[in-house]
Chain A
Amino acid sequence: MALKALDIYKLLPKKNCKECGDPTCLTFAMKLAQGKVEPDLCPYLDEEAKNILGASTRPPIQKVTVGMGTLSFTVGEEFVFYRHEKTFYHQPGIMYSVSDTESDDRIREVVSQVRGCRLTRIGIDLVLNGLAVYAESRSPERFAAAITVVTQDNPDLPLVLMASDPAVMEAGLAICGNYLPLIRGVNDQNCEAFCTLAKKYGAPLVVSGNDPEQLAANASRCTGLGITQLMLDLSGTEGEFIRASTLVRQAALARSVPGLGYPVFLDVRSSGFSGLITGITKFASVIVTRPLTRTEMQAALVMRQNIYTDPQKPIQMTPGLYRVGSPGRDDPVFLTVNFSLTYFTLQGYLESTRRSCWLLIVDTEGMSVLTAVAAGKLSESVVKDAIEKSGLASEVNHKTIIIPGYASPLSGRIEEYTGWKVIVGPRDAAEIASFIEEELK
């Protein structure tokens, strides 16, 4: 549970010395409570205070990086159980699996599926993160050869190497170890050999265990051998995974079991698409899946984007004047905020009316209409600004805008301030069709 500003204040020296950069200890405490500053900025903290405050800012889950270069990705460093508590920071890497027994052509095909997958939504590219090669052949030579097929053209594609024989793993690492692939295959017998390999290449290591206790013990064993880039293997059926990952996440956040403060690895080759969705929503950080159909891949990437959106920073639309259909100079102008959902919803309903119109998106910093009105982010001056910047007056022959129903308190002020006539539209975009029918005949 996060500390309240006043609780933190009580731990501070109350000198108001300003050395932290804040005018008073109280304002410093308020920023600490919001996680906006680090406690070290205060030079006068006693040990007890440092412990209490330090613990609340150090991530309870270790940061781990897979791969090197522009395609590498980082996971871990999570602070919360529910995304609404703050946010989930690092979205899971999704890796397509391929067996080293597959033909070189098939391997190349999977690589090109991974690299060729690109979905752009709201200005963000959604991508698959890499490839997982598993040593089904159990042959060091074949494993190395299969990896070579991948790395020939794509040396920087992040990889998961899956083999339980240290000799096989070593052969693979000899090819790509310098690119810091994720190593999976540790068991009770090969632990030391694998740790040696991980240490040699500085690559992250997946540890496993039959139950959380054993998992924690194995992880501690690896840290004892000097490995800190660890991930916890929670692969199993969807049900097994979710029960284990819930437990591990809770223990990690409580910092109660040192061996569990690592990101989670999940292999869903047997559970498939629904296993992947389960992993995305419930705390997996690297997920290995069989190549998906294109539609499944898209749904999974969008789900990942949704779940890892910062709930406190709504996705914003670029403010400006948008066309719905092909509006002419006499068509109506609807005004709304730049909260992406509001925009999508309104646009959807407007499209379904088949009436061409203009959509003027004003900058409310991504707040919804109700929020923006309450917080003063939607105001007559914001509207005026938007009308001027968008050049709306030169696009239409009239001077009338339709504002959202929840913005009705502003209608008078907008009229006075902008000189545009204001019509108050419905509160709910779903009523836009009947509004157009009745009000804009």
Chain B
Amino acid sequence: MTISYSPGWTASIREVVIGATAAEGGTRRISYRIGGESDLPCIGSGRKPLIAFEICDDPALWPDVIRSACTKLVDNPPAWAAYVDTTLQADLIRLNLTSTRRRNFDAYDAVSKTVIAVLQATSLPLIIEGSADADIDSEVFQRCGEAGEKEKLVLGTAEAARYRSVAAAAIAYGHSVIAQSPIDVNLAKQLNILLREAGVPDDRILIDPYTGALGYGFEYTYSTMERIRFAALKGDGDLAMPMICAPSDTLTIKEVRAAVHSHETAVSWEVATAVAAALAGATILVVRHPGSLAPLRTAIDSLWKEEVA
């Protein structure tokens, strides 16, 4: 008797290309083709998730634990990016343009400069998180998109209430879009349809299911991701996009903020969330604490079989 595994999947996750090498018209040293999985995470021959490390251009609102872990770097995004690239050896860098969250923001030129400087400081593919305010979105995303033209960036974040500006920049400059919906499989699907109808090709969308912090709703994220993966493998093309998940949000919760051993706590909680997110189907895991990278890398290497080309 052979016991076989027969999940009855009929489809696979769509592939998305992130970053462009010289041969592909960009300046990155590597580009990633993510997605393509035709089974549950770790089962079969799926690709390993990528680890993205988060930096920002204005750390004022970031948790103290990160500011102290990345001290000296937090006010210098290019140096921070270089450190993440060469020392931490993350797969990707996510640049948060947190400066745009300040009131009455209008330093659009600075946005372009920061993006260009970070692109020069690292040759890893880049995810850029722009503004979160419909009034300035158009200008901010236009600048980001333009500054990273041909680099196949990932631009975030599109939401149902404000997706047109991100979509327009992504379409104009050949980037992908992060589509974030509030922890709900149906809303995720709706947003993907909206983006498609706004002209974003399906293979340039990443789903961000929105990451509830561990202990504060992470289970909703976990199940939403499982449902998205399930629907995609069962043939729902509107949900067959790779997922990006940011366990870094766990760092803002009370337990981590108030911890005595704050760095140790940050790493434990971030890694625990990231491992569970990977098992639920995340293709890109975004972490923020430097200490999280190594244990997460080890876990992923143990969970996933050697990659099949």
B279 contacts chain A at the CB level, 8 A cutoff:
yes
Q: Mark B168-211, 1 if CB is under 8 A from A, else 0.
A: 00000000000000000000000000000000000000000000
Contact residues in A for B218 (Cβ distance below 8 Å): 303, 306
Stretch at the interface among B22-30, B141-149, B223-231: B223-231
Contacting residue for B275 out of A257, A260, A274, CB 8 A: A274
Stretch at the interface among B122-130, B234-242, B296-304: B296-304
Contacting residue for A299 out of B227, B269, B304, CB 8 A: B269
Contact A84 B214 (CB under 8 A): no
Size band of the interface chain B makes with A: 35 or more
Q: Which residues of A280-330 are within 8 A (CB) of B?
A: 280-282, 293-296, 298-300, 302-303, 305-307, 309, 311
Contacting residue for A239 out of B222, B268, B303, CB 8 A: B303
Given contacts A213-B2, A311-B219, contact A299 B212 (CB under 8 A): no
Contact B276 A281 (CB under 8 A): yes
Nearest A-chain residue to B302, judged by Cβ: A238
Given contacts A281-B276, A303-B276, contact A344 B216 (CB under 8 A): yes
Contact B271 A273 (CB under 8 A): yes
Expressed in whole angstroms, the Cα–Cα distance for A281 and B223 within the complex equals 11
Contact A213 B302 (CB under 8 A): no
Contact residues in A for B267 (Cβ distance below 8 Å): 295
Contact residues in B for A178 (Cβ distance below 8 Å): none
Contact A257 B3 (CB under 8 A): yes
B261 contacts chain A at the CB level, 8 A cutoff:
yes
The minimal Cβ–Cβ distance linking A234 to chain B, given in whole angstroms, is: 13
Contact B216 A341 (CB under 8 A): yes
Nearest A-chain residue to B215, judged by Cβ: A302
Expressed in whole angstroms, the Cα–Cα distance for A280 and B255 within the complex equals 20
The minimal Cβ–Cβ distance linking B30 to chain A, given in whole angstroms, is: 24
Contacting residue for B42 out of A239, A275, A305, A345, CB 8 A: A239
Expressed in whole angstroms, the Cα–Cα distance for A280 and B303 within the complex equals 14
Expressed in whole angstroms, the Cα–Cα distance for A294 and B43 within the complex equals 32
Contacting residue for B214 out of A243, A247, A303, CB 8 A: A303
Contact B226 A84 (CB under 8 A): yes
Nearest B-chain residue to A297, judged by Cβ: B268
The minimal Cβ–Cβ distance linking B21 to chain A, given in whole angstroms, is: 30
Q: Which residues of A152-196 are within 8 A (CB) of B?
A: none
Expressed in whole angstroms, the Cα–Cα distance for A84 and B302 within the complex equals 27
Contact B268 A298 (CB under 8 A): yes
8 A-B pairs with least C-beta separation:
A274-B299, A306-B219, A299-B272, A295-B268, A84-B223, A302-B215, A299-B268, A295-B265
Please give 15 more A-B residue pairs, beta carbons under 8 A apart, in addition to A82-B227, A250-B6, A260-B3: A82-B223, A84-B223, A242-B43, A246-B5, A251-B3, A273-B268, A274-B302, A275-B302, A281-B280, A295-B268, A299-B214, A303-B214, A303-B272, A303-B273, A344-B216
Residues of chain B touching chain A, judged by Cβ–Cβ distance below 8 Å, are: 1-3, 5-7, 40, 42-43, 212, 214-220, 222-223, 226-227, 230, 252, 255, 259, 261, 264-265, 267-269, 271-273, 275-276, 279-280, 295-296, 298-299, 302-305
